[in-house]
Structures are given as C-alpha cells and as structure tokens.
Structure 1
C-alpha cells in the first residue's frame, strides 16, 4: 500500500513537472538553437526547419507547444512586429537617389504588378471575394532578399542587375503593406468611395507623422546620448512599440506601424553596433519563435486530406514562380540585361518570407483569409526560400560585376611614391595582451619594412570618473610597460616606432580615434573571440573598431611567429568580382619572408574540365593586373562544400588570409551560413582577416603597400 502511494506521488509530481510552463519554453529554446544549425548543414534555410519544428511539436505532432499558450502567443506577436521592423530597418532609402533608380522602379513595378494579377486570378478561381483576392495577390508581389549574404560574399553586389533587385525591395515591401492596410480597412468598415479617399489620406498622414517624428527624435536622441549604446538600443525598441500602439489607435494594422518605424529610424541608427544589437535581439529569439508559431498553425491531417488546399498551394507556387520569371524577362527586354543577369534577378525575387507571411497571418486573424490560404503561404515560403537561394548560388558565382575595373586597376606609381614620402605608411598596433604582443609587432614590422613606413604601438588606459583614481594610475603604468616592451621589439626588428598612450572611455573608440587622428593606413589587431551572450549583445573591441575605423583592419590570430610563415593560402570564391586586397596583403608578407602565396578557388564537383581551365586563366589574368613581382600560384579544387575544401587545403599552409565580410542580415537573421565564419572557427593555422572600412574606400592599403617603394 505504501509502495502504491509512493508511485502515485511520483506520478503526480511528474505530471505537475510536465505541466510547468518553463518546460515547453526550454524545449523551444533548444529548438531555435539546434534546428537552424542542423538545416544549414543540410544546405537548407534555418527558417524552414523552425516552421517544421512547429508542425512536429504542435497540435499536428507531439502537442508540446500549445497554440493557445499566452506566453508563446506574446513572444510570437513580438516576433512578428520585430520581423517587419527589421524589414523596414534594412531598407536604405538613400539607394533610391543613386544610379539605377529608374531601373529599380521599372523592375519593382513589373515584379509587383505581374504576381499581383496572377494572384488575383488564382484567388478568384477559388471563389474568394475581390478584397481577399487582392490581398492574396499582394502577398505574392513582395519578396525577401534571402540570398543577400551569398551575393555579398561572392562580390557581385555591385552588378547592375543585382543592385536593381536590392533597390526594388523599397517599393515592393511598401506597396504590399499599403495594399494590406487598405484591404483590412475596406473589409472591416465597408467604405464607400469618399471614405476610401479619406482612409488613404489618413494613412498618408500617419506615415508622414511617424516618419518625420521618429526620424527627428532618433537623430536628436543619438546626438545627445553620445556613445551610450545601451540607451540608444532601448530608444529604438521604444520607437517601434510606440509606432505600433499609435497604429492601433489610428485603426492601422500594427505591422504597418512597425515597418514605418524601421524606415524612420534607419537614418538615425545607420550602420553600426546599435543596429547590429537591435537585429541580434530579434533574430536570436523573437523572430525564430514567430516561425515556430507559424508551424503550429498548420493542421497537417486536414492539409493532406484537403484537395482544395493542395490545389491552391500548387497553383500559388507555380503562379509565383512563373510570374516572377515573366517580370524578370520583361525587365531584361526593357533594360537589355543578359540571360544570366535576368535569371539571377528572377531567383533573387523568388523567396517569400517576411512581408508575405506577416500579411497572410494578419489577413487570417482579421477573418479576411481562410486557414487554407495560411497553409498555402507557409508551404510557398518553404519552397521558395529553398529554391531561390539554390538557384542564386548556381548563377551568381560567375556573374559579372561593375566593381571589377575598380578593383583590378593598377596603382599609380608616381602619385603613390610622392604620397609615401609626404605621409609615411602608418600602422597602428593596439597592444593589450603581453602573450600575443610580440607576434603583433612582428607582423606590423614586416608590413612596415615593405612600405618604408612606421608602426605606432598603442596602449589604451580606460578612463574613470576621477583622473587621479588609483585604478587609472594602475592602468597607465600597465600601458606604459606594454609600450616599453613594444618599442624595444620594434628597435630589434629595425622599424621606426612611435609609441602612443591614450586615456579613453573605451578600447574600440580609443583605437579608431587614434587611427583617424594620425591618418593611419592600417590597423593590426589581435584576435578577440566572442564569448557568451554579453559579447553578442554588447559587442567586443574588434566589432567596435571594424564599425568605426576609417582604414582597413587586419584581425590576426597568429599561432607562431610571422617571420616563420612560408606558405600562405588566399581563398577566393568569386573569380569574376574578387576581393583582391587579401592577395596583395599576402604577397607583401611573402616578399618579406620569401614565402609562396597560393590563390585557391573552390568550384562545384560537377564543373567540367574546360570550365576549370577557364577559371584558372581568369584568376591568372586578375592576379597579373596587380603587377606583383612574384605572382602567386593558382589552385582550383572541385568540391561540394567550399568551407570543407578550404579547411582541407589549409592543413599544408602556415597562414590563411581571408576577407572579413559583414553580412547584411536578412529579415529574421536566418540567412545562409557564411564561409568566412566557418573558416574562422575551424582553422588551426594562423589567420588574418581583412576588414574594410564602412565607407568602402580602402585604397590606402592597396596604394601604400603595392607602390614601387613597397614591393621590390
């Protein structure tokens, strides 16, 4: 009897433990951590895995996540708002004022109107009313640049056709959300003609007020708050939710307010650490939860049995693919793009993620759209987010770029020589860790030797409230000791050194400010690995320097003395529009050590021998334009995985030089994985990652190090 009572107690305790709300939340965190990683290993978008996780753990599967859970619904709602806010934040309105604005306007008109008409016809064939049909058509009109990190890494972002697609998102996203707001208002209020005009006027006034007020308030707050990134981060979040609340008070859909808030604070936030933190906070938690919640909405048994849902899904997917193709084809005929550019534009405009899912979900909650449309939209997202980046990866690898001429142009010897004599090539070397200081000074000394320049060892003593505080005094003494050691090392290496001690409120700001004040041409830093959530939220020194620096930054992880480097590997993914700076940087080190540089290109395993020969000749041609005295070796490897091929090849090398490419994060932060990230985490040899300044004018490194006085 006693045993039975104990078993009953254990059973009741287990049942109570299983009903704790914290248990599903722990499982949810595990899902959003592990599933995207697993799917990216399978070369699939992580968001697809999150949606499927919602199906598996939801009502159609194991019933762990409940669709009526207040906590889950709240987090998913925040994720929806965050998704639309980031979609607005990522749109750079300044792009409209640059070149190709008319091409962007033409492409956006075609890629919006053609799918809109096709979507309306499909919806009408399933007997949806006109308002619902227009809303369904508008959800197909926008697109998400899911493959942006890929084309950015391949260096084809400056191709005119690709640039047009990027700029066109400004119009398609805004257009789709305006149609959504209009359809919802007409459906709920049953408006006549003059009321419709009044509604459009109020929408325009609301958008103008939000845009002007948030923009002005953001600039003022950022100006007055100085460098307080924590308060700036909170201000951005507050702006979003104030815009959402005011939208609801005005009778406007809240995701429209979130999108407009993103557009409004875009200019104030700019490209910097605050924006990175804002995007990170949403992409790491709230937006993944939103995609998991979408999976809960799928009624899998009903979906399989419903012939009408399957027919609608098939027609929507085929109609979307065909209509986007027609829009890209018409753009090709009007603006005379070639077939490869046209197909790339088509593949980039295929993925339907952010605005499509948000508008569909809002239409479903308002009763305008049925659950059948939601199922179709989710399946459309799964198909297009997988198909679009896959096609882009096959097409963009050899896409021509307008940046080739700029990157391949040889330096001007006379002007460079005169500039070198007037302003010697200056390398700032921040010193902090005594264990890695010697290798950093040696690396900078090798580069300075080749450029007949100088190095500036820099020690930062962080400021305190009182300048006579014991903590500051101890920091100054420590910095002076580091500079004394650095000066002695420089003297032994035969390089002019000008040590600098700076008292500043932060390391990153002190480094970037010193480099600007002394007109430095290069910053050579030691590797500071991210550690934990705090580093991701509040950044580290390297992040801050890369965001703020006016000159190139060489981030180094040296496992041995740079003087012992004999074999240098430079992976180059795109043979049409490569980043040539790593090749030149590697060649400078090779000239100093009489080492050998190898430029490696990884192509698909199915690439023909003739195509491989073409790649080799193309790389040889590009490298020859750098006028290097000892041209590097060219190596082509056929492999199905770029990162794994480079890792295998790097076992035979002492140093790998790779560009540091800061990807624009697609809405949701669930973009395709970056090869550079994998290499940085798995390479065991020395690494140098070259980061270009945010203004992308990194000419000082190229002209200073590759001048006739530098390479002999």
Structure 2
C-alpha cells in the first residue's frame, strides 16, 4: 500500500518522468534508434503492463501529456519555414495537394477494406495525409535546403498538416453524435472565422507586443505561451480539437519569432520536457496483449504501412512529372514526406480517446497500435533514404549569387550606386588592448580591399548617474583605446570613424551601432584574459550572432593579419555560410597575395562519384569569383573530421570556419567539430557567421 500511495504522488510521478527523459533517449540514440522510441518503450515498461510506477489516468500525467501534445503541434507550426514557402508558393500548394489527397484516398480505401465506417475510414486517411519534417536537419546539414524540391516539400507541410487537422475536427464532431448538414456548416463557418482570427490576429498582436516590449525576453516568452494556450482554449470553445488551435498558433507567431532567442527558448523547453512527456504517455496507453494481438493479425498494420509508403511515393512521382524534377529530387521529396510523427500521433491519440454516446471509439485500439508501428517504421526509413539521396541534390548558382554573404565583397558594376550610398563598413568592437592591434589590422585590410571604412567601437557600461566618477574614468579609457585604433588604421590609409556608446548590454550596443552605421561586417575578438570555453560560449558573442543584421567574424589572431600567407577553409557542404567563409578567405588572400586551400573531409564509405560531384560543384563556385586568388581544392578520406582538419592545419597561418551551432541548456553553442577545432588548432582562427545563422 505504501508503494502504491507513493507512486500516486504527483512529485514522485514527475521525478520518474524527469529520470526517464534524462536517461532513456541517449541510450537509444547510441543504439542508432530514435530517442522517442525509447520514451515509448519506457512508458510501456513503467505502465500498467510493466512495473506500474506510472498511472496513465493520473492527473499529473494527463496534464503534462496534454501540454506536450499541444507543444508538439505548436512546434510543428513554428518549424514550417514561411520564407521558403513564399518562394515556391504555387508548387508547394500543388505538391501539398498531391501528398495530402493520394494518401487520404489510400487511407479511406484501407479503412473500408477492413470494414470500418466511413467516418473512421476518412479519419484513417487524414492520419496518413500529414507528414513530419523529421529529416530536415539532414538536408540542412547537407546544405540543400535551397533546392527547389526540398523547399516545395517544406512548404507542402502547411497544407498536409492543416488539412489533416481540419479533417480530424470534422470527424470528431460527426462522431460526437447528432450531426446534421446544418451543424457541419456551423462548425466549418466557426472554424473559418477562428482560423482567420488566430492567423492574422495573433500575428498582428505579436508583432505589436514585440515592438513595444523591446528586449524583454521573459515577457515575450510568456506572451508566446499565452498565445499557444489561448488558441487551444479557443478551439475547444468552438467545438474543435485543441491541437488544431496549437498548430494554428504556431503558424501565427512564426513570423513574429523569426530566429530570435525567444524562439530558441520556446522550442527548448518543449523538446526537453513537455514533448517527451507526451511520448511517455503514449507508451503508457499501449496495451501489450492488445498490441501483440494486433501484430499477430498483421494485415491491418501491414496494409496501413504499405498504403502510406506507396501513396507518398505516388504523390512525389506525380510532382516529378508535373515539375520536371530528377530522380534524386523525387526520392528526396518522398523521403521527406514519409515520417509520420507529430500531427499523426497527436491526431491518432485524440481520435482514440474520442468516444460517442454509445461508447464507441472513433478509431480502434488496433488502428492506434498500427499508427505507432507506422511511426516507428517511417521515423527510421525516411531519414535513412533522405541521407542517401539528398546529397546528390544541387543548388542553383543564383542561390549563392543573390545572397548577402556572398555578394558584399564582389563589387559588381550594378552595385556601384548602392556602394556609393552605403560604403563597405567594418564595425570593430574593441575592449582588450592586448588584442586590439591585430583586430584593427584585420578590419583595415578588409576595408581597404573594398575601398570602405572602419568604425572602431568602445562600449562603456552605463551607470544610473551620468556624472558618476567611474563612468567618467571608463569613458576616458575608451577614448584612449579609440585613439590607438585610429593610429593603427591610418597605416592602411582607410577612413576611420571612432564611436563610443554607453549601453547596459554590450552585445546589443554592438548590434545597434552596426545597424545605425549600416555596417557590412562586424569583426570581433576573443579575449586573451579568459578561458577558451568562456570565449567560445560567451553570451556577448552568442547575442551578437543572434541580433546582428550583417555577417559577424569572431577572430583569434596569433600574429599580424598582414603576415598571413596560407589560409585553410574546411568545406563540408555547399551552404551559403560555407560559401561566405570561402569568399572571406579569398578577400584576405587577395590583399596579402596568399594561397587559399579548400579542405573537404569525406567519410571512407562515401562513393567516389559523390566526392567527384562535390568537388566539381565547388570548383564551379570558386571559378566564378572575380578575385584572382590562388585557390586549391584538397579532398581527404577520414571518419574523424575534426582530427583530420587539425592535422592538415599545422602548415597554415589561418583557418576560416563557419559557425554551425546547436541547442544547449544555456542557449546556442557551436558544433562539436568546431568546438574541437577551436580548442586544438595552433593557427589563427576566424569564425564566420551569418545573421540569425
């Protein structure tokens, strides 16, 4: 009895959940299985068919699971890249319609084949119609997000998920009992008005609030959470399932959040706490005897899985014929639209829990179990196929030519007017006299190459009284540093406009000044007085990366930039950030008559033709540069990328890296490879990042 009463305690249940979330996913990821599979298994083991440590009927579990379910759909709305969608709106609508209708028809046929009613069959069809962009990180890492086929698939997610949730809302309403044509019309009318209010009202309110609240991230965070739950409650008020509201809220605040730190915090708290709770609860609901029985009569599960895989392929094939895509693009579109996780699982759980007055569920336990198997199969199969074929995709050369990071140094003739209006400007925050000379030299070399100017900036911490003696002393020290910066700059015969700013936040002071001066580039340094870890993960650097409107170069210079003769640029993909790092290196090499080596490290199992194709594309991009710089491409096979780069960099003066970052509890950090490079490289380093990269 004591044990039972203990496990019923909300604190104990929450502690068990935290322990599971903390320990289980990493174990399964080491086994090369999705972490969410581990959460489902943990739910099964801790539920009524296992150790009985967690009760699926517990109010604590239900509350956390409900929040997780809403968060899952909210994040699904947030992750849709509206900017990418706008670029290919018509084709996204076309493929979205195909990849929604074809699986929908396949699902309805499957339901009818197994003698389900029309309402349940339509619901099964809607479960197959949506998709989750589970393999998006793969295409992002490969640098092919700008490929039209990928962009079209991402945009299609808006139609598949929205359509699937609207069908769910109608099917749940019909299953509830007395449902006539009039009540259906009222539901659809209310849904249309509600959708317009959420999408346009929340978007307007969010932009107004963010504009008025300035840098108050805590209040902005609470506003977004309030928007999520207001939309969910509003959906229930009009008789629609609350996950529809959560998804629409995600779409509504998508533009508001952009790539801001608040968005990172919103997604972080969901991904580490609430969404895992939802998957554990899904595991708790799985009845092992019934699950085994479902698998023993495997035909329903098999037909659902085959229907999904086949129908998604047919939709992608029709898009290939319609838009003249090649085979690699066909297979990438198919694999990206395969995974059935977010909308599918959330909708399946809602349908399973929907019971009519006669006590009948909208979908049976067999269908729910089949959907879980479908999720497991597609969550593994989709990313595997994506990683295999997406690497063969190519980006249009114009994607690089029109991007700010790849054009600000080129000085094309059609940009002369713009350059005369806004000359190339390098902002240089200075705060450490020990590193100031090399930092100013780097900025002056770049500015002189572009016939631009540099703006040395000294940030002085604000005080309550402007006549505070400490502030007066700090301002005097700032002027001394700026005078030294001006002297160094004059050696390079570039225009110098020193600036002092009094600000409470150094990072925002840098970003605001760069915007006011219309800076083309911010060149920052790592302090030599602090540990490397503090320099790398420092909040000032992270905040400037987040808020800057222009590229940011963070430097660790061990010698004068004037002496640099050999520059190494590790190239893992052909993203705009990588091309920006290449162009940055070429500018510096052009000033010093130096050599640039592009190093591509490929895994040993990579097919030779893929490496040759990559080198060919890289060579084309390099040849289009207007700078006559000695640029060589070197390829090496090795499974330890960081160690290979460190070994090859021993004979170089400078390594130009791009900032590739991931989420951590403290915000953003650079990737593990970059972290190791910065820690162990013996040469000078430039870490280059795009705005919001």
Sort the TM-score into its range (normalised by shorter chain).
0.7 to 0.9
1:253-302 deviations in Å (ceiling 9; x for gaps): 11111122222233333342332322223223212222233233333454
Aligned to 1:247: 235
Deviates more, 1:388-397 or 1:325-334: 388-397
Query: What pairs with 1:231-630 in structure 2 (closer than 5 Å)?
Result: 231-300=219-288, 302-307=290-295, 310-366=298-354, 367-404=361-398, 406-407=400-401, 411=410, 425-433=424-432, 436-437=435-436, 439-469=438-468, 472-473=471-472, 475-477=474-476, 479-480=478-479, 482-484=481-483, 486-487=485-486, 490=489, 497-526=496-525, 540-558=539-557, 567-574=566-573, 579-591=578-590, 595-630=594-629
Question: Which of 122, 131, 155 in structure 2 is aligned with 1:143?
Answer: 131
Give, in angstroms, the shift of residue 504 of structure 1.
2.8
Report if the CA contact (8 A) 1:162-1:344 is conserved: yes
Question: Which of 156, 169, 175 in structure 2 is aligned with 1:168?
Answer: 156
Question: Which of 82, 85, 89 in structure 1 is aligned with 2:74?
Answer: 85
Residue 638 (str. 1) matches residue 634 (str. 2) = no
The SS at the match of 1:580 is helix
Structure 2 regions of 5+ residues with no counterpart?
Answer: 355-360
1:319-363 deviations in Å (ceiling 9; x for gaps): 211110011011111222111111111011111111111101111
The SS at the match of 2:427 is strand
| CA–CA separation in structure 2 for the residues paired with 1:157 and 1:425 | 29
1:216-238 deviations in Å (ceiling 9; x for gaps): 32233223323322212211111
TM-score, normalised with respect to structure 2: 0.85
Question: Which of 45, 50, 55 in structure 1 is aligned with 2:39?
Answer: 50
The SS at the match of 2:339 is coil
Residue 691 (str. 1) matches residue 679 (str. 2) = no
1:175-229 deviations in Å (ceiling 9; x for gaps): 0110011111110133022221222112222222333432332233223323322
| CA–CA separation in structure 2 for the residues paired with 1:139 and 1:300 | 22
| CA–CA separation in structure 2 for the residues paired with 1:349 and 1:689 | 35
Residue 73 (str. 1) matches residue 62 (str. 2) = yes
The SS at the match of 1:189 is coil
Structure 1 residues 29 and 565, CA gap change in structure 2 (3 angstroms):
farther
The SS at the match of 1:351 is coil
Report if the CA contact (8 A) 1:85-1:259 is conserved: yes
Give, in angstroms, the shift of residue 240 of structure 1.
1.4
Q: How many residues align?
A: 672
Aligned to 1:189: 177
Give, in angstroms, the shift of residue 309 of structure 1.
6.1
| CA–CA separation in structure 2 for the residues paired with 1:553 and 1:649 | 26
1:65-103 deviations in Å (ceiling 9; x for gaps): 44344333322221111111122233355665x443222
Aligned to 1:700: none
Aligned to 2:199: 211
Aligned to 1:701: none
Report if the CA contact (8 A) 1:586-1:597 is conserved: yes
Structure 1 residues 609 and 332, CA gap change in structure 2 (3 angstroms):
closer
Aligned to 2:358: none
Structure 1 residues 73 and 19, CA gap change in structure 2 (3 angstroms):
closer
Structure 1 residues 622 and 558, CA gap change in structure 2 (3 angstroms):
same
Deviates more, 1:372-381 or 1:195-204: 372-381
| CA–CA separation in structure 1 for the residues paired with 2:209 and 2:421 | 41
Deviates more, 1:580-589 or 1:52-61: 52-61
| CA–CA separation in structure 2 for the residues paired with 1:183 and 1:36 | 34
Residue 225 (str. 1) matches residue 223 (str. 2) = no
Structure 1 regions of 5+ residues with no counterpart?
Answer: 1-11, 697-712
Report if the CA contact (8 A) 1:77-1:290 is conserved: yes
TM-score, normalised with respect to structure 1: 0.83
| CA–CA separation in structure 2 for the residues paired with 1:226 and 1:307 | 55
| CA–CA separation in structure 1 for the residues paired with 2:531 and 2:234 | 38
The SS at the match of 2:197 is helix
| CA–CA separation in structure 1 for the residues paired with 2:372 and 2:564 | 52
| CA–CA separation in structure 1 for the residues paired with 2:646 and 2:22 | 25
| CA–CA separation in structure 1 for the residues paired with 2:615 and 2:234 | 59
| CA–CA separation in structure 2 for the residues paired with 1:555 and 1:44 | 37
Deviates more, 1:463-472 or 1:167-176: 463-472
| CA–CA separation in structure 1 for the residues paired with 2:17 and 2:646 | 33
| CA–CA separation in structure 2 for the residues paired with 1:170 and 1:606 | 36
| CA–CA separation in structure 1 for the residues paired with 2:18 and 2:562 | 46
1:407-456 deviations in Å (ceiling 9; x for gaps): 38994555678877886532111233556545533433443454454432
Give, in angstroms, the shift of residue 35 of structure 1.
4.5
Report if the CA contact (8 A) 2:641-2:673 is conserved: no
Question: Which of 671, 680, 692 in structure 2 is aligned with 1:677?
Answer: 671
| CA–CA separation in structure 1 for the residues paired with 2:131 and 2:157 | 7
Give, in angstroms, the shift of residue 582 of structure 1.
0.9
Structure with greater contact order relative to length (CA < 8 Å, sep ≥ 6): 1
| CA–CA separation in structure 2 for the residues paired with 1:452 and 1:83 | 50
Report if the CA contact (8 A) 2:95-2:315 is conserved: yes
Structure 1 residues 570 and 49, CA gap change in structure 2 (3 angstroms):
farther
Question: Which of 29, 40, 49 in structure 1 is aligned with 2:18?
Answer: 29
| CA–CA separation in structure 2 for the residues paired with 1:48 and 1:560 | 51
Question: Which of 182, 189, 199 in structure 1 is aligned with 2:187?
Answer: 199
Deviates more, 1:175-184 or 1:496-505: 496-505
Deviates more, 1:363-372 or 1:402-411: 402-411
Structure 1 residues 112 and 34, CA gap change in structure 2 (3 angstroms):
same
Report if the CA contact (8 A) 2:328-2:392 is conserved: no
Give, in angstroms, the shift of residue 172 of structure 1.
0.8
Structure 1 residues 610 and 327, CA gap change in structure 2 (3 angstroms):
closer
Question: Which of 126, 130, 133 in structure 1 is aligned with 2:114?
Answer: 126
The SS at the match of 1:690 is strand
1:477-536 deviations in Å (ceiling 9; x for gaps): 55445445545655678866443111234323321221122232210123599999xx99
